[in-house]
Amino acid sequence: MDCQRDQWAGTGSGALFLRILAKQFGSCKQKKPLPLPLPIHLKISYMSYIEPAPIKDRENPLESMMKRFDLAAQILGLDESTYNVLKTPTKQVIVGLPITMDDGRVRVFEGYRVIHSNVLGPAKGGIRFDMDVNIDEVKALAAWMTWKCAVVDIPYGGAKGGITCNPREMSAGEMERLMRAYTVALLDIFGPDKDIPAPDMGTGPREMAWLMDEYSKSHGMTVNAVVTGKPLVLGGSLGRVEATGRGIMVSTFAALEKLKINPYQATCAVQGFGNVGSISAKLLAERGLKVVAVSDISGAYYNENGIDIEKALAYRDGNKGTLAGFTEATLIPADDLLTLEVDVLIPAAKEDVITEDVAHTLRCKLIVEGANGPTSAKADAVMAERGIKAVPDILANAGGVTVSYFEWVQNRLGYKWGLDRVQRRSDRIMKDSFERVFQAANKYDVSLRIGAYIVAIDKVAQTYKWRGGF
């Protein structure tokens, strides 16, 4: 990847749904792994309201994240010993969880928790319930969280957890028993000063409430700060639901300012109309950007005069969560949204949508990555050659973990912040983080993506050495 050319270059379903996906994306072909001893298989499916994490690159399972990580380490001149420490998890736990199912049978589920690093502070990372969860995936996700927290200067290390199960086929009672068993099995791992879980794929505020309750019962007192992403009545934070979308809005305006693009004359297309995409579109439209296209599972919707996002949200919420049949815009093929001639493109739906081939057909000036890993590594070089700028996911969608941190702080203080304070402080962190990444990209004459990795790796490496190193 030639990142020297441009300092901004960039990141229950049924059989019918599976056939649609297969037709759209084709099959995955594995290639030979990189020769370096780098973190392994990266895979994630995008869900709204989760902490960002790495994904499976259909071109190569390691390429999208690890090529960038390795390049940043080389630019920093990271010595071999520090490199080996940063890529190796601090702790890995695998547990068997016997659960009585509703039909009386006992099934044993396998659960995982990996702490990649606790150099910067207690570990932080989500818990996912999914059939594809495995120890290799969780190790990769935990490493990603280390860099995510470091780039926004949050005093957390990275962690991740999961249980191999299908939550769509489980009752609420089975889910509760499973989460409580997982919590009991990891009582010596979790803790407000050790490892702080959060929602991820297949989990949400309900599951975090169960975790908090089980942990609290074992300690004989209420311990709100052991987990984030809780319901508001149990110590959750105001502003958490919209935090990721708000961070994308802040990142977009920061990038437009650097590019000298007038936001009041700019157009925008948003792929994905779930939690992240819809809130991003709403906040951007409120501040003057003309959102001309949005999309969801039903297709893409285009209106050259701008879509009324409030109407689109109301329609979606009253139409079983989909935009199907929305008449305020023209239905176009879903893939066409990515190649519209707009100033800003926000991929906020799925991973790996901007491949090398797609990068050749892009007509936007700026990409702000709302989803996790929407841009493949091979697309970076194409975008650099074509002068297309990108704010990487590791920076752009960090608003979620930032407000998760605020939730933990409020729980520790025993004092709840108002929405204005949460938003003001999260906006400042996002702006400051963008500026640090931008300065690093300028200093080393690399893309914002590599600049973000440089900021994160340098922070963790320096902290490690100051604490005593090896």
Domain extents in the chain: 85-234
Query: For residue 468, what are the contacts with CB-CB under 8 A and spacing of at least 6?
Result: none
Task: Record the tokens describing residue 136, joined without a space.
Answer: 């290799």
- The 10s digit of each residue's pLDDT in 392-402 is 988 998 999 99
- Residue whose tokens read 């001149």: 77
C-alpha 414/C-alpha 311 separation (Å) is 39
C-alpha 58/C-alpha 42 separation (Å) is 10
Tell how strand 123-130 and strand 157-164 pair up: parallel
C-alpha 460/C-alpha 470 separation (Å) is 14
Tell how strand 344-347 and strand 330-332 pair up: unpaired
Rounded to an integer, what is the distance from CA 168 to the centroid of its chain? Answer: 22
pLDDT at res. 105: 97
pLDDT at res. 378: 87
pLDDT at res. 470: 64
C-alpha 72/C-alpha 361 separation (Å) is 28
DSSP state of 370: -
Distance (Å) of CA 416 to CA 238, 265, 369, 429: 9, 39, 31, 19
Cα Rg, the chain, nearest whole Å: 21
Mean pLDDT of the region 101-122 = 96
pLDDT at res. 2: 41
Mean pLDDT of the region 330-335 = 94
369 pLDDT band (50/70/90 cuts)?
A: very high
Q: Which carries the bigger pLDDT value, residue 419 or residue 59? A: 419
274 pLDDT band (50/70/90 cuts)?
A: confident
CB-based contact 73:452 (threshold 8 Å): no
- On average, the pLDDT of the chain sits at 87
pLDDT at res. 371: 84
pLDDT at res. 63: 52
The verdict on pTM exceeding 0.85 is no
pLDDT at res. 349: 83
C-alpha 169/C-alpha 452 separation (Å) is 39
Q: Which carries the bigger pLDDT value, residue 140 or residue 379? A: 379
Selecting among 160, 290, 350, 378, the annotated active-site residue is 160
Report the topology of domain 85-234. Rossmann fold (3.40.50)
Active site residue 160: yes
CB-based contact 397:376 (threshold 8 Å): no
CB-based contact 160:124 (threshold 8 Å): no
320 pLDDT band (50/70/90 cuts)?
A: confident
Mean pLDDT of the region 5-11 = 38
- Stretch (H or E) spanning 376: none
Mean pLDDT of the region 361-383 = 91
196 pLDDT band (50/70/90 cuts)?
A: very high
pLDDT at 468 over 90: no
Helices in 240-363 by DSSP H: which ranges?
Answer: 243-259, 275-286, 309-317, 356-359
Count how many Cα atoms sit within 13 Å of the Cα of residue 220 in the half-sphere of its side chain. 0
Q: Which carries the bigger pLDDT value, residue 264 or residue 3? A: 264
pLDDT at 61 over 70: no
C-alpha 141/C-alpha 398 separation (Å) is 15
CB-based contact 301:323 (threshold 8 Å): yes
C-alpha 424/C-alpha 404 separation (Å) is 15
67 pLDDT band (50/70/90 cuts)?
A: confident
C-alpha 305/C-alpha 63 separation (Å) is 39
C-alpha 371/C-alpha 72 separation (Å) is 22
Please give the share of the chain, as a percent, with pLDDT higher than 70.
86
Quick one: which of 238, 252, 160 has its CA closest to 404? 238
pLDDT at res. 144: 82
pLDDT at 57 over 50: no
